Every structure is written in C-alpha cells, then in structure tokens.
C-alpha cells in the first residue's frame, strides 16, 4: 500500500515533470536559460520509451510516455516560439 | 536487436536528460528561465522511482534513477547557487 503510493507518486511526478516549465514559459515568454538540447534529448528519449512500450505491449509505459511526450512537444513548440525574445 | 537498441537508447537519453541543462547553467551562470518547481518535482519523482526500484529489487530502475538523481541534485544546487546572479 505504501509502496503502491510511492510507485504511483513517482510515475505522476515524473510524467508531468515538464508541466511547471511549460507554465513558467507561458508566464514569462522567455526561454533564454532553458537548454534546447535537454528538451530535444528528453523528447527523443521519451519517444523511444513510448515505442518500446508499444513493442512490449506495456500499458503503463505507453500511457505514461505518451502523456510525457505530449508535454515535451508543447515545451519544444514554446521554446521555438519564444527563443527570439 | 533493434528493440534492444531503442530500449537502451531510451534509457540513456532520459537518464542523462538533465546533463545539457547543467552544462548550460555552468556556461551561462543564469537560471532565470529554468523552473525550480520542475527541478524539485523531478528530484522527488526520481527519488521515489529509486525507492521503488530498491523495493522491487530491480537493478535497472535502481541504477538509472540513482544516476538521474545525482544529476538532479547537481542541477538543484546550481539553481540555488545562481538564482540571484
């Protein structure tokens, strides 16, 4: 029961980990200190996790990484929107 | 074989996902646009993944999240070092 909470907490916290960064970009419209390499590296990595989840047909991997991937696409788009000021 | 590469690639890319952000902070000494909530949320989430990995005795979970956790502690420390400069 405790360990279910820790596992679920881990999943939720990391799955939505980029949401605070997205909200901050929307608020400040500035991405000067945000690493584009970080965003692209996570985007590709999470996409690979999603593909791997589909391959091994693991629903938790699929859902968690599909959600994360959507947040990363949003973060990437905002980065390019605001990169020049 | 292809799927081993995709799975391993996913693991390596996300495990070291915060390294480019750390390098950028070291280079610019500026964290104004980096979300502290993002860093702390990932730190806690990855710590929970590490605990969960120890509980289910899964070496891949343990190693990957131990490495990620170290990078997040570094990122957190750099954030507080440069937040007022």
B10 has a chain A CB within 8 A of its CB: yes
Quote the pTM value: 0.94
- Tens of pLDDT, residues B61-75: 999 999 999 999 999
Q: Can you give the pLDDT at residue A85? A: 66
Report how far residue B47's alpha carbon sits from residue A18's, in angstroms, rounded to the nearest whole number.
Answer: 16
The 10s digit of each residue's pLDDT in A8-52 is 999 999 999 999 999 999 999 999 999 999 999 999 999 999 999
Q: What is the CA radius of gyration of chain A?
A: 14
| CA–CA separation, B85 and B66 (whole Å) | 30
pLDDT for residue A8: 95
Residue in A9, A14, A51 nearest the CB of B6 = A51
- Residue B22 is predicted with a pLDDT of 98
- Which residues of chain A does B23 touch, with a Cβ-Cβ cutoff of 8 Å? 35
Name every chain B residue with its beta carbon within 8 A of the beta carbon of A10: 45-46, 48-49, 51-52
Among candidates A25, A28, A48 on the partner chain, residue whose Cβ is nearest the Cβ of B10: A48
Out of B9, B14, B52, whose CB is closest to A6? B52
Q: What pLDDT does B71 receive?
A: 98
**Residues with Cβ within 8 Å of residue B49, at least 6 apart in sequence:** A10, A14, B61, B65, B68
Interatomic CA distance for residues B36 and A30, integer angstroms: 15
Segment A70-80 mean pLDDT: 98
Note the pLDDT of residue B84. Answer: 83
Q: Decide if A16 touches B, using CB distance below 8 A.
A: yes
CA distance A84 to A13: 30
Residue from B8, B25, B33, B78 whose CB has the most chain A CBs within 10 Å, to mutate: B33
DSSP state of B35: -
* Chain A interface includes B13 (CB < 8 A): yes
pLDDT in tens, B26-82: 999 999 999 999 999 999 999 999 999 999 999 999 999 999 999 999 999 999 999
Q: ipTM, 2 decimals?
A: 0.94
């Amino acid at each position: 029961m405790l360990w279910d909470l820790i596992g679920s907490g881990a999943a939720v916290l990391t799955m939505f980990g980029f949401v605070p960064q997205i909200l901050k970009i929307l608020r400040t419209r500035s991405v000067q200190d945000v690493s584009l390499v970080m965003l692209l590296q996570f985007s590709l990595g999470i996409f690979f996790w999603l593909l791997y989840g589909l391959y091994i047909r693991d629903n938790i991997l699929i859902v968690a990484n599909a959600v994360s991937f959507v947040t990363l696409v949003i973060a990437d788009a905002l980065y390019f929107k605001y990169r020049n000021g």
